[in-house]
Amino acid sequence: MTRILLLAVVLWCGPLLAADGPQAPTSLRWFTPELAFQLSDYQQLLSDLGLLQPGPYASVDAHDQAITTATLRLLELRQQLRGGGEPSPQAQLMAAEQQGQLDRLIANLTPEYRGFARLRSALVRERQIERVPIPGLAPLQSLGLGQSHPDLAQLRRALAIRLGEALPPTLQDRPVWDPPFTALLKQYQDSNGLSATGRLDSATRRHLGSVGQDRIAAIQYSLRQWYQLPDRIEGYAMLVNIPRYELLVLNDEAVELAVPVIVGSPANPTPKMNSYFSSVTLNPSWTPPMSIVRNELLPGYRQDPTTLHRQGFEWVGKGQSRLPWTQVTPENVNNVLGRYQLRQKPGRNNPLGKVRFNLAQSRAIYLHDTNNPRLFRQSQRALSHGCVRVAEYQRVLDYLLANESSGRQRQVAQALQQHDSVTARVGSRVAVYLVYMPAWVGPDNRLHLVDDVYGWVAG
């Protein structure tokens, strides 16, 4: 009883989340017979997440304290990523201790997703290949097919190891830039979200030049991001992996579709977020946020007072009243803006395109089509003001509506052919997760590591 009371006092008194993380209640003990079969795996998990140093520790008490601190940090991380709604980390830990359920807490803190397990396996491999150096790339970047250099053999071996490929004996020491080397380089580029040019271009050199610790940091950061997801995904869901510029349509945990997306620029990053939608708006209008109105639309309007009208913008006031453009001038536009909103009609000039997925509690962040699909051809697609532009929206709609009635499917198809805005339900609620995982391992067990486009791993 004395031990539980002491733990309660330590966990309750004062805010324990200091600037460098939660403080550890020293009375908590992990090395007990009840946890003997779980503790080794749990410590490895905390180490893989970058939350626990492997030791050695000065004493058992110090080791206990380190595990408790790491557990509090993990509980805090999960709460932050999921947007709250859970008891405080201290309260969860105290409850588990009081009820003798630390074993259940440990089990609950181990995600069961296959992708999470694959990424942990990739971390093991990455630690093993960290000692395999990449040669200096400056003398190799200008080489082409048929040319040779002694370091090409080393680079070939390093690429193969990073891809998990076994080189045939005839190629292991071959210092020539040959077709198999080009194919290997393209495979590396493709698996890491780079343009598969088959050349040592600047993006590829930068990626290859990243040190092993940077790669490991990206994997550990991505492992921690899995805690944003619920304990399990059930039914339809969409997962947008921001730095991979990719949207996955899921049915339970199975990937049914993968489509490219455009995300926010580094100056306007797409936030990590959990949301959902039950309807889509076809031929949506667009009400731009005030930052875009003041910083982009009005400066253009003052240079050419006809431009916004030509692009389909209108002034909308209370009760959907309209103000004619003849009553708006560059001189009075700021006063008008205080009483009316700018809204763009549906049409080919509308940046939302043909479809908007109506996210709940989205903080003005949407998934939508675009009127500029050519941008999907770019390999680096952090280009928007924060919203997520979805390529091939029709494939996504068709999949979500596959189990709906033929009447509902006709209604959606007809609405897409028109210009009036129509909101249509898409059956059951679809969960949406906007995540930031620069390291990802698919069913092929290959590690895909893309640029930390927002600098969140390093930051």
Task: Give the residue numbers annotated as catalytic, written as ranges.
Answer: 368, 387
Distance CA 66, CA 54 (A): 10
Cα distance between the two ends of the chain: 43
**Token digits of residue 204:** 């590829």
Output the CA–CA distances (angstroms, integers) from residue 151 to 181, 184, 191, in the order listed.
13, 15, 23
Beta bridge partners of 388: 367
Q: Which of 427, 397, 399 is nearest to 412 (CA)?
A: 397
Distance CA 212, CA 37 (A): 32
**Token digits of residue 174:** 């071959």
Rounded to 5 degrees, φ, ψ at 248 are -105, 130
Q: Which are the contacts of 356, defined by CB distance < 8 A and separation ≥ 6?
A: 280, 281, 284, 366, 367, 368, 369
Distance CA 439, CA 105 (A): 27
- CB-based contact 87:95 (threshold 8 Å): yes
Distance CA 431, CA 233 (A): 9
Distance CA 176, CA 183 (A): 13
User: How many CB atoms are closer than 10 A to CB 325?
Assistant: 14
**Token digits of residue 75:** 């509980």
Q: Burial, 352: exposed, middle or buried (Cβ in 10 Å; 0-12, 13-18, 19+)?
A: buried
